[in-house]
Every structure is written in C-alpha cells, then in structure tokens.
Structure 1
Amino acid sequence: MDNINRINLIKEISEERNSKVICYICGDRKNVSIRIAPDIIPIFYDQLKTLNKNDKIDLILYTKGGDILTALRLVELIYEFTDNFSVIIPYKAYSSGTLICLGASEIVMGRMSELSPVDPNIISPFSTKENDLHNQLPINVEDVYSFISLAKDIVGLKTDESLMNMFLELTEYVHPLAAGSVYRTHALIRSIAKKLLLMHMEYQDEYKINEIINILTERLPSHNYMITRKEAKEDIKLPVTYCNQEFEKKIWNLYKIYEDDFKLNSPFIAEEAADDNGNFSVCSGIIETLNESNGYIFEGNLERSNMNITIMNQGWRNI
C-alpha cells in the first residue's frame, strides 16, 4: 500500500488547514465491504487522546453509511477533544456519514463530494410477514411514510375507517412489529440529527434545524439521492465550505490512493488472494493519522476442493 504518499498528502492538508487530520475510509469493496460500526470508537479514542485540546480536528471521511448511533457517539467523542471540528468529503459520505457531517461546524466539499438522505433501511426478523429469516427484505423508513402520504394526500383518504383499512392492508405485507420499528427508527433519526446540529447551532435556530432535518429525513425523492455541495449549501443550508481547485485536487488524490490501495473498484475474490495453503488476508478500511494507522482486516481460509470460504478473524488492528 502507498503509505508514504498518503502520509505526505495528509501532512500537506494538515499544514494548509492548520489542523490535525484523521482519515476514516470505510471501504465498500464488494465481498469485503465495511460500514460505520461501534468498534471504531476505541480506535478513534486512542488516536484522539494524543492531540491537544486546542487542536482543530479535520475528519476526512469516505463511507456509504452504517450504524446511526455510532455516528452520534463518534461526534460526541471528537468534541471531547476539540471545540473546532470539520468534516472534509473527497467523495461519498452517505446516510450515517451524512449524520456525522451534521455534527461538524464546517463541511468542506469539492465538486465530487456527495451527501445523502438519512433514512436507513431496517432488517429484522419481522421484515417479512412469515418471519422467513432467509428472505428478509429491507424496509426503508421513508417508503412506509411515503405510502401513508400517498394514501392521504394523493388518493385522498380522509375518514378514520378508510385510513384504518389502509393500515390493515399495509400490515398484510409489513409485519406490525416491523412497522413499529420503522416509526421508532424515524423518531430516533430525527432525535440524533437534532442533537448533532445543536452541537454547533443555537436553540434559537430551531426552525432552521427542523428544516434541515425535514429535508434529509422526508423530502428527498430517494434513499439513493446524491446531494451535491451546491444543494447542501444553498437549499439545505448546511455549513458548507467550497474548497478551491488546488485543495480539491489534494483531497481527491488522497481518496484515489485509498481507492487503489484497497482496490475499491475490484471485487475481492478469495481464489485470487489465497496463498498455497488457502489462507488470505485483506484490508478493507482504515483510520489513519500522521502518526498511526489502523486497518480493518479480514483473515480467512479457502478450501479449494469445495471452494468453501471461512472467515477466521476480522477487526481493527494497527498496521
């Protein structure tokens, strides 16, 4: 891996921004992808505790999402070590990655930077009516709310009886407990988003805060909708800073090095990676500063006779 060039770019960015830079690359390589999860918190703590309280912290973030509670916990942890927190987005910061951005007083975006709605999918034992554990379907929070809005606003259902019949029809396809989970998750997302925004906004800005939350949780047309820096700044009113072309080139080059190092565009194929004994090891993500690098490692074994793959170990370690 191209550690020297990565470190040189991190150093340049740190000097230009007069900040301490932490890179969190949540790799999305097919077959070995990782997502934001609670196991990052001790790793961040170990790296943050080496900083001074007055240090400005820049988080360079790449992720397609993950656990929403971890997003809140991470931002809370970062603010234990600084009063000046920014997120730099070379490319993608989706879903719970967007939530992390809501906690920053500055979001640095280039022309390739993307945020997303924060309406995650829910998968539980009740995601199918028959509780078929092998065929669970993800339930998108906003799909359920959109169905209810369709019935009320477009179809024109108004009476208690018609709305009750509509709800009963919905529960023919969505388990009632899964529907309850949708409601709870929707409320949780809004609560987390508000807590994150209040870390750098005032209670007097409640209308603006609620507008941001409403847009990101309800008003965008698709969970896969990509929010550009222009829309983030002008329409959603997030604290976005447009980076200049020179700085954009640096953060994009850094992302491309990570992309190449972790082969994000190439599916992981165990047969190609395994040694003569069938053992393989692959790094799928990284949390990195100038002084320390922690990678997320999958270790496993391939039985070539039947092509059976066993993951023996996975987790964060110093690299």
Structure 2
Amino acid sequence: MGDIDYILYMADISRSGYDRITEIGKSSNKKKACLILVTPGGDPDAGYRIGRALQHYYEDGFSVLIPSYCKSAGTLICIGANELIVDDKGELGPLDIQLNKSSELGEKTSGLDLPQAFEALKTEAVKIFRETLIDVRMGGRVSTKLAAEVATNLTSNLLSPIYSQIDPIRMGEIQRANFIAYEYGKRLNEKYKILKSNALGKLLLSYSSHGFVIDRKELKELFKNVRKPNTHEEIKILTKIQDLVIAFENGNDHNLVMNANLFLENTENEQQNADLPSTSGLQANDNPECGGENPGEQIDSGSSEIEAEYDSSRSDQESELPQAANE
C-alpha cells in the first residue's frame, strides 16, 4: 500500500488497543500512517497514549479515516492527527468522557450528565424566581422586597430536594474527568494544531449527549484539515472494509486492531483474479492479457481432469481438419 501504514482499529479505546498500536508502530519503517477508526469511545488515558504513539512512530504524521461513528476517546485521538478524512457516513462525537455508574455494575454514564443537570436546574430556578417575583409584585400589590422574599423561599423549597440528591464527591470526579480530557486534547493538538480557535472547549461543553452526531460539515468548523475520501480511498480502502464495518456496527464481530496493508492488498488481488478469464492449461504467451515474466511460463495448470478434457477436445478438433495435399 505504498509508503503508508493503513491501521484498522474497530474496537473500544483501551490499553490493549494501545499495546497493539505500539507493536505496529515499532515494527514499521513507514513515515506516515492512516488510522481507519470505528469506535464507540472508551478510556481517555488509552486514547491519549494512542494519539501520542502515532505521532511518535510516524514522523510525517498520521491521518484518521472515519467510515462510520467515532466517539468520545476516538475524538481525542483525532485531535492528534494532521488530517481527518470523513466519509459520508462518518461522524465524530463530543469529547465526552464515559464514567462507571455508581449504581449499576458494568454501565457507563456521560461526563456531561451532571454539568448539564446543573445547567437545567439553574435555568429552572431563574425561571421560577422571575415568574413568582412578577406575579406577587404585580398581582398582590406588595413591595418588591417582600415579593423577592416570597420568590426566593418558593424557589428554594421546590428545588432543594433535587439539589440534595447530588453527591459533591461524584461532582468532583466528573469535573476532574472533563479536565483530564481538556488537558489531553491540548497536548495532542500541540504538534499539528489541527483544532481551530476555541474548538476544544466546544467539543467538551457544547453538545448535549454522548452520541451527538458531528458530521463532516460541522467538523470543518472545528478542525482545520477535514476532507471527504478521494477516489483512491473509496475504491482501495472503503469498499474493501465495508463488510467489516457493518459487522462491527451490528455487534456481530469482535474487536479488531491490525495493520491492514496485507489485508487490503490480498482483497485487491482476489478481486483482480475474480475478474480474469479462466487460464487453465494455457501458457502466458498464449493469452496476451495474462502477463508472465518468461514466455511459456505456466499461469495455472488446473486440475488433471481439466487438462485431460482440454487435450481430448483438442485432439477431436485436429482429427476433423482436412488432410494435407500431399496425402
């Protein structure tokens, strides 16, 4: 696949994925990589290490090809790239750290949940206070001071039971997690500076859910180098991995992290062989479409039964030819 390592990563972002990326990078002599990334997200520490590893092993940088969804820690890896290649079905998500739910074993919660809950409560508190103040002041013909006291007490009594359910330790944990994502993003962006001004803060705080879709058009407002796949990438890469992507999207395939160069080359060779006419029993110089290095080089001898049938057919045809004139 030329001078580029094509690395296929279809899995959660994890330490084991980072270990595999490190193995690929150490064993390569290429200067550039293209990470084909499909992931629901995962460990931000591992995402940071993957981005750093790709920057380290590939001195000419790495691009990220996004054929499907790429969320959370996957978005973090993209910040370390020097180019994003986003297919029509490709999408990123916000830089949203996933945390273990304290009440449910094995389930995750978004790092955006609690901050957004606070924002919603703040908005509701202001609304209740304002409406109560106006109603009491204008409708009851009382002083503004008294109306403000009534509005304050009502707002506090309505919302304090909700605020009391918030765990301050959990709030601190979420704030730290979001701060970690910000710091990792800032460090990964230092090398190629792919993010536009204020984009990191937007990726952290401007989206309402973990699964929020940031498509190619919107990504161009956040990242500097974003483009659609060219014809070569469409034909040589995306068409060859589409079955793998569909299987992963549907949950029918296991995690996959590998150097995809050999896979893409083998897939291309299989397609080319499928398009060629049968060459059983023919020599390379008998068929100008089948190039052999040496004249008379056998391309495909076929099975003994096919050879016997071919020889028998040829003998029958020769017996039907007219006799030579001198006979």
Displacement of 1:138 after TM fit? Answer: 4.0
Residue 92 of structure 1: which of 51, 56, 69 is its match? Answer: 69
User: CA deviation digits over 1:48-85, x for unaligned, max 9?
Assistant: 11222x61111111111111110110111112212311
Residue 220 of structure 1: which of 198, 207, 230 is its match? Answer: 207
Residue 190 of structure 2: which of 195, 198, 207 is its match? Answer: 198
Partner of 1:23: 8
Within a 5 Å distance, the mapping from 1:52-67 to structure 2 comes to 52=29, 55-67=31-43
Given the alignment of the two structures, is residue 264 of structure 1 paired with residue 248 of structure 2, yes or no?
Answer: yes
In the superposition, relative to structure 1, how do residues 265 and 48 fare at CA in structure 2: closer, same or farther (>3 Å)? closer
For 2:168, the aligned partner's letter is P
Q: Quick check: which one's helix share is greater?
A: 2
**For the residues of structure 2 that align with 1:155 and 1:137, how far apart are their CA atoms?**
31
Unaligned runs of 5+ in 1: 1-10, 27-34, 269-281, 294-319
In the superposition, relative to structure 1, how do residues 47 and 121 fare at CA in structure 2: closer, same or farther (>3 Å)? closer
**For the residues of structure 2 that align with 1:292 and 1:171, how far apart are their CA atoms?**
56
Partner of 1:177: 169
In the superposition, relative to structure 1, how do residues 266 and 195 fare at CA in structure 2: closer, same or farther (>3 Å)? closer
**For the residues of structure 1 that align with 2:67 and 2:244, how far apart are their CA atoms?**
11
* TM-score, length-scaled by structure 2: 0.63
Retained in 2: the 8 A contact 1:22–1:57? yes
Unaligned runs of 5+ in 2: 130-147, 265-327
Partner of 2:92: 115
Q: Quick check: which one's strand share is greater?
A: 1
Within a 5 Å distance, the mapping from 1:17-166 to structure 2 comes to 18-26=3-11, 35-52=12-29, 55-83=31-59, 84-124=61-101, 127-128=102-103, 138-153=108-123, 155-156=125-126
Within a 5 Å distance, the mapping from 1:280-291 to structure 2 comes to 283-290=254-261
For 1:288, the aligned partner's letter is N
For 1:169, the aligned partner's letter is I
Displacement of 1:150 after TM fit? Answer: 2.6
> What's the % identity of the aligned pairs?
23
Retained in 1: the 8 A contact 2:111–2:174? yes
**For the residues of structure 1 that align with 2:200 and 2:160, how far apart are their CA atoms?**
26
* TM-score, length-scaled by structure 1: 0.65
**For the residues of structure 1 that align with 2:160 and 2:169, how far apart are their CA atoms?**
13
Greater gyration radius = 2
In the superposition, relative to structure 1, how do residues 168 and 198 fare at CA in structure 2: closer, same or farther (>3 Å)? farther
Aligned length: 240
User: CA deviation digits over 1:170-215, x for unaligned, max 9?
Assistant: 341x43322221111111111111111112129xx8xx44x11121
